[in-house]
Chains A and B, each alone.
Chain A
């Protein structure tokens, strides 16, 4: 098992080459959005309006960070539970979204849409808010500032660590764990590479 580096935006070929259980480090820009921002984006799609960013080739990170303390670009910023965004995800995948970062399992409808459109779902370490914030190097507001911690942001990340939890073929690490298959990588330490 090797740690792969990926730089956003991602092509369909890059995403299709990722396999469940792969460890990856992401560089580039990702978009922070959670419950309320998703609800607004889906309302925009339903009303035929333009989205605040073009999802083509991009990744969404399900996060509602703490405010940035003085001297920092962002406060604690670990992933939130992805399942709450299941209902909103297929329309974004239809529009070219290549990946989502969060924690916990996804619905079958999301997995089916990922297979159809070529997208990947990555797990970041829930509850490691300070550790992950350190790999976010800049933050730009994109839309919905009135939502406070739920605003849509563009984050620049360096060596942001994730595990491929569900790949483009629909292979799912949570399902493997439930079926008690061996999912251990043959590697002593994950994420040993510093940003």
Chain B
């Protein structure tokens, strides 16, 4: 039995939220540079140059890449042989967020109740997922996601007869309806299968995969490339102001489903897709 103290978790979460909000991941920066080089529209090119300049300025000035520092989704993957000591694990995660958001001068973007809408004042609570499996590993991934893109996500329960064509149509429809709201160029996360909540979870999980890595299954990797081509044909471009760079990548994750179900969830993430992970 391996012991991990809540103070370690709190410190790790704090470091992760600081890094995520201040440094755009390398795979996103490279994808934006490549998209800008390929882009024919001068406006689209210059918008992506501003996005890249902004990412550099954020590091130099230690300011949040985007003012929407988001509601933080935290995924903890832990082995069943890990014993958490020194407090409550979820409280430790929230304490790390509280500290990180204060230290980074990040915006407090959480309301404590969805209907009363009073700001919680410290950007907590996070949305925390626990994935427990054999072993004694412990990793933390933070995914602070802004509402501009989050609000444009959609989920549908297709009929199995609609099949792959139904999936294609739905993904393109969601990207098209999002227009400029989700801050393209996007990362498009697609969750296929499971039940209603698992499809949404898979779509989010897909967004955590670097944009330069295709799905290990050949058919799904090919579908990712095909869907990327389809969404880029929409011509929405950066900020929805026109161009070929509507998305940087389409990432798909799947899960077994019911004989009568074909759930599809699409979660969109903006050009400032921010994520950070660490292992304890």
Contact = CB atoms under 8 A, between A and B. Distances in A.
Interface of A: 36, 63-69, 72, 75-78, 80-81, 83, 103-105, 123, 125-131, 133-134, 147-150, 163, 165, 173-174, 176-178, 180, 182-191
Given A67-B105, A83-B181, A78 B46 contact: no
11 contacts: A76-B64, A80-B68, A105-B179, A125-B54, A127-B66, A128-B54, A173-B241, A174-B241, A178-B179, A185-B42, A190-B43
A18 B23 CA distance: 37
Q: Which of B105, B109, B148, B239 has the most CB of A within 10 A?
A: B239
Contact of A187 (B42, B117, B183, B241): B42
Interface of B: 40-44, 46-47, 49-51, 53-54, 57-58, 61-69, 105-109, 117, 119, 121, 146-148, 151, 176, 179-181, 183, 235-237, 239-242, 270-272
Contacts of B151: 81
A186 B242 CA distance: 14
- Decide if the interface of chain A is mainly helix, strand, loop or mixed: loop
B46 A190 contact: yes
Contacts of B148: 80-81, 103-104, 126
Q: Which of A68, A130, A163 has the most CB of B within 10 A?
A: A130
A105 B240 contact: yes
A119 to B, nearest CB: 19
B67 A75 contact: yes
A78 B63 contact: no
A130 to B, nearest CB: 4
A148 B42 contact: no
Contacts of B108: 148-149
A23 B104 CA distance: 33
Nearest to B102: A67
A177 B46 CA distance: 17
A174 B240 contact: yes
B109 A149 contact: yes
Contacts of A131: 50, 53-54, 57
A189 B46 CA distance: 6
Given A129-B54, A149-B107, 16 more contacts: A65-B67, A66-B63, A75-B107, A76-B67, A80-B68, A81-B147, A81-B148, A103-B239, A126-B148, A127-B183, A129-B63, A133-B67, A134-B57, A148-B119, A185-B42, A189-B42
Contacts of A104: 148, 179-181, 240
Contacts of B271: 127
B54 A126 contact: no
A69 B107 CA distance: 11
